[in-house]
Structure 1
Amino acid sequence: MFRTALRNVLAHKARLLMTVLAVMLGVAFVSGTLVFTNSLSTALQNSSAKGFDQVDVAVRPEGREDKGDTVGKTPELTQALLDRSARVPGAASAFGVVRGFTALADKDGKLVGGGFQSEGGNYWGTKDPRYPLVSGHAPSGRGEVLIDSETAKRAGYKVGDRVRMSVDGPVLTPTVTGVFTTDDGNVAAGGSLTLFDTATAQQLFGKPGTYDEIDVTAAAGTSQTALKAALDRALPKDTVETTTGKQLADDQAEIIASSMSGLKQGLLVFAGIALFVGTFIIANTFTMLVAQRTKELALLRAVGASRRQVTRSVLVEAFVVGAVAGVAGLVAGIGIGAGLKALMGTLGATVPDGPLVVSPGTVATALVVGVVVTMLAAWLPGRRAAKIPPVAAMSSVHAKATTKSLVLRNTIGALLSAAGVAVVLAATSMDGSDGQAPMGFGAVLLIIGVFVLTPLLSHPLIAAAAPVLRAFGVSGRLARQNSVRNPRRTAATASALMIGLTLITGMTVMAGSLQTSIDKMASAAIRADYVVSMANGNELSPDVERTLRKTHGVTLTSPLRNAPSRIDGQTEYLTGVNGAAIGRLTDLTVEEGSFTVGGDRVVVDDETAKSHDWTAGSHFTVHYEDGKAQQLTVAGVYRGNDMIHGIMLDTARLAPHQRDAADMQVMVKTTDGASGAVKDRLEKALGSNPAIRVQDKKDISNEIAKMFTLMLNMLYGLLAMAVIVAVLGVINTLAMSVFERSQEIGMLRAIGLERTGIKRMVRLESLVISLFGGVLGIGLGVFFGWAAGELLGTRMPTYELVLPWGRMAAFLLLAAVVGVLAALWPARRAARLNMLQAIKSE
């Protein structure tokens, strides 16, 4: 039986090629994902580890827990602590580290790198071991700065150039005195790093005389553990904590691995989708192969082969196909991994140098996935073939599915579909994240249910195309009959395309609806013409709001200033605003009381009010960050959203209790409204600062839209793999259908149907099957998009369903194109059949 199985594989090489390709693509995606993420993770970890080469023990401020009704303050690392650390037995040297956000502009005035990755720090002495100089000399004073070599290369800067930058205040224009190399992970990821001398860095980052961290190097013969123990004995335990360089590197590696796991899981989800789609093709292929060899299998049964042996022979074929596909997929996956790494570089994301990592786990996963998926898909056809009695198989009375099996299939499909719809509908009424898992489970049930029901659905939906197909004469009528002749095969072929289009349509509906909702939220909640913020999301200096207030044409301004506090024993963040202006700069729905902010009167969003059981007129005691307490009164309760929420009070009441006041945003109203000229005027008033963004409501919406568009395009690219696999499935089904109908096609040619008519028949059959899958996929995608939107609507009041009719029409056209392209080779093959040989074939 084993030799027979191997002979069958070799005898049907052309028929099994599409199955090998389907499995190979899925395996390639899985192994490519693993190679790419492992290589990137290893390169980042190695690069990060180099950054700790000069650190044996790091001294950091001890994190303080909130206690009672006061908000803890972070202890400071002073020069005295640095000197004491350097004198500890076993310490060779110690240097203080200062860090902070530094926005560096390129020669066109635009921010270099991403906002969150633009950092600054201090250069320790003339020979800082962390940052070897490539050229130039160490900086001295506010007028001199060092930049990293990657940034110098990208922005075109060299020693002697003047650069524009901002830390937290006016724009600086220092001279580049040197260029250095670094293994800093932010620079490796495409960010920038600028260095000042220590005194200047402390002054610019608002940390005069203090450090963010003290790095201590061990003397020869002293281990990191021994140095840490010595530092623990010498330094005050209640204000500082120590960590070895090895532990820092391990922690960083763990953080990188954790962050990469999200990317890995996301990519593997799409690989799984491609494999799931490929499973239908494999099952379809083996079903047809078994059906074509029924007499052969019946003869084996007649000469003594048991059912188990017949099933086993089919599984052996599947094992060989899966092993070949697994090996080919692994090789292709290594190429995909290398390609993804190179693609990140072309998109502007700098990836640290490092080899491709093909781990034993990746090899094992590729082979196991290829073999297991193929054998699972082939098991049911093999089992079905083994159950056919030899006499029935020899007479071909088994060819059609029994009424009992179809009724059972339709019943199971109806129950699964109904259960899926019920679970999805129930999930839409749940709150936010609570409904995500049930909705996902319901979606899986519904997709499986529709797949099981697809043979039943094929008759009415394909029948709807009959009037159009009649226009093509005999070829059109034959195409319709062929499409419904074997409903199970049609269902398996259409379902592969259905799943891909379901996901694509659902995501498109969600993205379009979310974008519209965000547009409405921005226009409905904000009356201000502009919102000013930092490029990296950090805090603004209060000087920004004072500068804007004095700018020509500005009529109203209000900061949004966050400050921690304690209320009822819990940490709550207060939002300081200009009480006299905030009501005219926002348009929030007031649910209770009045929108009045001033003195001890505050307004609270509905979620916060509900959590504390407050209503209009309620009194509560707040403990500010300086420990002082005060009683405030709830003047009104407003409906919060993702852009504006929290407890609003006047900055005049909040400012006396803040040590370092800073604003998250500043809202601005002007006499001329939003225009390009007004925006330029505001930017110039702020010194054309690269660190500060001036955005109108359209800019805010477009920024979010860019994020959605980028994500959607990435998802389209990933789901294209599933569509490619679906195309292979249509080609495979048609090719084997042509083979199995060779005698029928020969008869049609003999009675006068021309070759063009044969081609048209096969193409129309392919078109009908593809459009059938497309209609099902788009319908399910719209339903899932609506359901997910209902779930989001519980947290986003402005959410509304927006159906992208143009894109859905494009998706249906895509399904039609898939059908036409997939039919090219099978149609050509059918037309070239020798009619006499075809009529003689059995």
Structure 2
Amino acid sequence: MLRTAVRNVLAHKARLLMTMLAVLLGVAFVSGTLVFTSTLSTAFQKSSEKGFDHVDVAVLPDSSQSSGPGDAPALSQRLLEEAAALPGVAEATGSVSGFAALADKDGKLVGQGWSTLGANHYAGEDGRDDRYTMRDGRAPERDGEIALDAKTAERTGYEVGDTVRTSVNGPVRSEKVTGIFTTDDGNVAAGGTLVLFDTATAQRLYAAPGEFAEITLTAAPGTSQAALRGAVEEILPKTAEAVTGEKLAADQSRAIEEELSGMRTGMLVFAGIALFVGVFIIANTFTMLVAQRTKELALMRAVGASRRQVTRSVLIEALVVGAVAGVTGLAAGVGVAAGLRALMGSLGVTVPDGPLTVTGTTVLVSLAVGTVITVLAAWLPARRAAKIPPVAAMSSLHATPTTRGLVVRNSIGSVLVAAGAGLVLLGTGMDADAAKGPMGLGAAVMVIGVFVLTPLLSRPLIAAAGPLLRLFGVSGKLARQNAVRNPRRTAATASALMIGLTLITGLTVLAGGAQKGIEKMTAESLTADYVVSMANFSTLSPEVEEKLAADERVTAVSPLRSSPAEIDGDTEWVMGVSGEHIGDLLSMDFTDGSLAAFGGTKVVVDDETAERYGWEVGSTFPATFEDGERGELTVAGVYEGNEMVRSIMLDTSLLDPHMQRVDSMQVLVKAEGGVSEATQSALEAALGDNPAILVQDKEAMSEAIASLFTFMLNMLYGLLAMAVIVAVLGVVNTLAMSVFERSSEIGMLRAIGLDRRAVKRMVRLESVVISLFGGVMGIGLGVFFGWAAGEIIGSVLTTYELVLPWGRMALFLALAGVVGVLAALWPARRAARLNMLAAIKAE
């Protein structure tokens, strides 16, 4: 039986090729994901480990011991000197760091902002900092001087002596490059940018004079990290903690692994979808192979083969196919990983250098996925093959499904669809967290139910295409009959395409509704003409709002500050605004009170916060601010909050004195004459044409949101394309086997006058009908799931509204038709080239 199974695989190479490709693509996606994330994880971890080479013990602020809400205790110069004087300390270094935008020679922001950092060059007794080796020039020594990392200098073309433009929190700074340095810093190794200031300047920019964010210690020879940590702990205040370099490296590695786990999980979900679609193809292929070998299998039974041996024979075929697909898929996955890394680099995403990492787990998982998926998908056809009675050897056809079997199948499908739809509808009435379980389970059950019902649905839906097919004469009529001749085969083929289009359509509906909701919220909540923010959405200096307010075109300006405060034992983030102008910049619907009394200790709160604390207009409550000071606040109004504005709002004159660093998340601006290119240019000029600052009107904000959704959708489309490609292979496989199965019939049609062109047209139309059938079901399910998920989003984003992307849905349906045309090219050509006499003789 083993030899028979292997011989059958070799005899049906062409028929099994599409099945093998389907498994190969799924395995390649799985192995590519595992290799890619392992490569990134290893590279980032090695890069971060280099950053801890000179760190034996790090002294860090312990925010859990802060004296006020959000108060991050700083480390003093005195503590640094005491630590440096401890026995066993070879060197002590103080560090501060933060965002530092750098403009290139064309005035554009270098990088995307997220990895553009600034730090201090801490000069030791010899004037050197072991973390940074000066390749050219010298380290910065005073305000107005900086040093650049060598990679950034190469990218931008800056050299020692050049003057560059930087920005930390809004105002443009003009700096002279005094040095180019090399470093093992993990951010730089990953493609980031690092700007070094002298320590005094960095402290002023990122902390406060004489304060550090971190103190790192290098142990003297013979002193262990644990011993040094114990010595340091004796001098630490309660607001600081000591951590060994080994623990820092381990924590960093764990954090990197956790950050990449989300990416790995997401990509594996899409790989699973592709493999799930492949299951239909595999099952379909083996079902047709079994049907075509009815006489052979029945004769095997007649000469003594048991049911178990016949089942084992088919499963061995599947095992061989799965093993070959698994091995080739693993090799292809390494190429996929290399391509993904190159793609990320071309998109400007920081990716550290390093070899591709192929772990033993990746190899085992890839091979297991390929073989297990294939064998499981072939199990039902194998059981069906074992049930073929020996008497079937007398006929070339096996028994068709009974009416009872079809009734049972349709009944089960109807129950599954009803149960799945019920769970999905139940989820729409729950909150977002509770609805995930019922809605996810309901969607899966409903998709399975629709698949079970697909043979029943195929006849009426394909019959609806009859009037159009009649336009193609005999070819169209024959194509319609062929498409419904074997409903189960048509169902399995169409379902593969249905799954991909269900996900694509559902995501498109969700994205369109969310985008529309955010645009609506922005339009309704924002009456300001412009919103000013940093390019990486870090905080803005008060100097920004001062410069804007001084511009003669500006009629109203208000910062949006954020600061933690303790209220009734809970930490709430309060928002500081200009009481004089906020009414002209935000549209706020008050359910009680108004902005008329706003100012001083009188505040306005959103309705959810007011309900949670039981406040109403006139209520007073104590609050502990960021600096630990307490104050009594009075509610002057309660407004309807949304995703853009939802907070306890108070005047900046009250909040600013309590903030450790006075800065803003955004600045709202209203200009004389409204929005115009001239006004925007003037505002940008007033801010020094700073590339790190965004000046956006409402339309530009909407376009930025739209581009974000478009990018995410395109990325998801790319991932789901794997499932669609697998579905295309399924259509090709089904048509090819259908042509083989109908060789005698096609030969007879040719003999009675159907020319080759008509035969090709018949096969192509059959393919298009099957693809459009899957497309219609996929789009219908996608709209339903998109609507249901949108109901949950609507409970969080109140301005969300259902948007049916008619244009895109029409495009998806057209693409399904194109899939049918492309999938039919080879089978149609093969059918047209059949020798009619040989085909008529075929069994």
TM range (shorter): over 0.9
Counterpart residue number, 1:45: 45
CA distance in 1, matches of 2:709, 2:244: 41
Q: State the 1:29 CA deviation.
A: 0.7
In structure 1, what is the equivalent of residue 131 of structure 2?
130
Partner AA of 2:445 in structure 1:
L
| Secondary structure of residue in 1 paired with 2:430 | coil
Contact kept in structure 1, 2:747 and 2:836, CA below 8 Å: yes
Aligned to 1:110: 108
2:95–2:120 Cα contact (<8 Å) kept = yes
CA offset at residue 440 of structure 1? 1.5
What is the TM-score with the length of structure 1 in the denominator? 0.97
- 2:114 partner SS: helix
Quick one: which amino acid aligns to residue 808 of structure 2? R
Q: Distance in 1 between matches of 2:211 and 2:237?
A: 18
Mapped to 2, the partners of 1:470 and 1:38 lie a distance apart of 55
Note the alpha carbon deviations across 1:40-69, whole angstroms, 9 max, x for none: 1111111111011111111112223467xx
Output the amino acid matched with 2:526. I
Residues 168 and 205 in structure 1, CA contact (< 8 A), matched pair in contact too: no
Contact 1:144 1:175 in 2 (8 A): yes
In the other structure, the counterpart of 2:486 is 486
Alignment partners' CA distance in 2, 1:139 and 1:372: 61
Partner of residue 626, structure 2: 625
Deviates more, 1:156-165 or 1:731-740: 156-165
- Deviates most, 757-766 or 163-172: 163-172
Partner of 1:811: 812
Q: Is the Cα–Cα contact under 8 Å of residues 120 and 193 in structure 1 kept in the other structure?
A: yes
Letter in 2 for 1:746: G
Change (3 A) 1:656 1:356: closer
Say if 1:458 and 1:772, in contact at 8 Å, map to a contact too.
Answer: yes
Equivalent residue for 1:303?
303
Q: Which amino acid in the other structure matches residue 731 of structure 1?
A: V
**Which residue does the alignment assign to 1:80?**
78
Question: Helix, strand or coil: the match of 2:173?
Answer: coil
Superposition deviation, residue 400 in structure 1: 1.3
Amino acid at match of 1:818: V
Measured in 2, the distance between the counterparts of 1:242 and 1:677 equals: 54
CA–CA distance in structure 1, aligned partners of residues 477 and 422 of structure 2: 39
Which residue is 2:729 aligned to?
728
Distance 1:167 1:733 in 2: 61
Q: What's the secondary structure of 1:310's corresponding residue?
A: helix
User: What is the aligned-residue identity percentage?
Assistant: 66
C-alpha separation in 2, matches of 1:311 and 1:345 = 49
CA offset at residue 547 of structure 1? 2.2
Q: Tell me whether 1:558 sits opposite 2:558 in the alignment.
A: yes
Provide, for residues 147-196 of structure 1, a one-character-per-residue CA deviation record: whole Å limited to 9, x for no partner: 11222122221211110012246321111111112333333444321001
Sort the Cα spacing of 1:388 and 1:588 in 2 relative to 1 into closer, same or farther, 3 A: farther
Name the CA distance, whole Å, in 2 between partners of 1:490 and 1:434.
37
Query: 1:668 — aligned with what?
Result: 669
Cα distance change of structure 1 residues 804 and 189 upon mapping to structure 2, 3 Å threshold: farther
Please list the CA deviations of residues 78-116 of structure 1 after superposition, one character each: whole Å capped at 9, or x if unmatched: 121111111211111111111122111112222212222
Aligned-residue Cα RMSD (Å) equals 1.6
Give runs of aligned pairs for residues 355-370 of structure 1, distance below 5 A.
355-370=355-370
- Gap change, CA 1:647 and 1:72, over 3 Å in 2: closer
Corresponding position of 2:712: 711
SS at structure 2 position matched to 1:350: coil
CA contact (8 A) 2:545 2:558 kept: yes
1:189-241 alpha-carbon deviations (Å, 9 max, x no partner): 443210011122222324201111111101112221221122123x1251321
Give the deviation of 1:396 after TM superposition.
5.1
Match of 1:97 in 2: 95
Larger displacement relative to structure 2 (607-616 or 371-380): 607-616
Stretch of structure 1 that moved more, 731-740 or 408-417: 408-417
Residue 391 of structure 1: aligned partner: 391
CA-to-aligned-CA distance 1:389-430 (integer Å, 9 cap, x gap): 222464356331111111111111111111111111111121
> Within 5 A, what are the aligned runs for 1:254-653?
254-392=254-392, 394-395=394-395, 398-596=398-596, 597-653=598-654
Once the two structures are superposed, residues 234-292 of structure 1 have per-residue CA deviations (whole angstroms, 9 ceiling, x without a partner) of x1251321111111111111111111111111111111111011110000000000111
User: 1:107 corresponds to which letter in structure 2?
Assistant: K
- CA distance in 1 between counterparts of 2:566 and 2:76 reads 28
- The separation in 2 between residues aligned to 1:123 and 1:683, in whole angstroms, is 32
SS at match of 2:132: coil
Contact persistence 2:498–2:775 (CA under 8 A): yes
1:48-59 correspondence to structure 2 within 5 Å: 48-59=48-59
Which secondary structure does the structure 2 equivalent of 1:107 belong to?
Answer: coil
Q: Structure 1's 621 and 393: CA in aligned 2 closer, same or farther, altered over 3 A?
A: farther
Q: How many Å separate the matches in 2 of 1:693 and 1:306?
A: 75
In the superposition, relative to structure 1, how do residues 632 and 232 fare at CA in structure 2: closer, same or farther (>3 Å)?
closer
Q: Give the drift of 1:624.
A: 2.1
Amino acid at match of 1:236: L
Unaligned runs of 5+ in 2: none
TM-score (norm 2): 0.97
Q: Which amino acid aligns with 1:568?
A: D
Asked if the contact 1:64/1:73 (under 8 Å) is kept, the reply is: no
TM-superposed deviation, 1:574: 1.1
Letter in 2 for 1:283: A
For residues 335 and 407 of structure 1, what CA distance do their matches in structure 2 show?
Answer: 48
Match of 1:699 in 2: 700
**Does structure 2 retain, via aligned residues, the 8 Å contact 1:112–1:191?**
no
Structure 1 stretch 240-249 or stretch 597-606: which is displaced more? 597-606
CA distance in 2, matches of 1:631, 1:469: 78
Deviation per residue, 1:275-323 (Å, 9 max, x gap): 0111100000000001111111111112222222211111111000000
Q: Distance in 1 between matches of 2:317 and 2:812?
A: 36
Residue 837 of structure 1: aligned partner: 838
Q: How does 1:727-746 map to 2 (within 5 A)?
A: 727-746=728-747
Displacement of 1:761 in angstroms is: 0.7
Question: SS at 1:7's partner residue?
Answer: helix
Give distance in 2, aligned partners of 1:805 and 1:503: 16
Per the TM alignment, residue 610 of structure 1 is displaced from its structure 2 partner at its CA by 2.3
Bigger drift between 660-669 and 772-781 goes to: 660-669
In structure 1, the residue matched to 2:247 is 247
- Residue matched to 1:680: 681
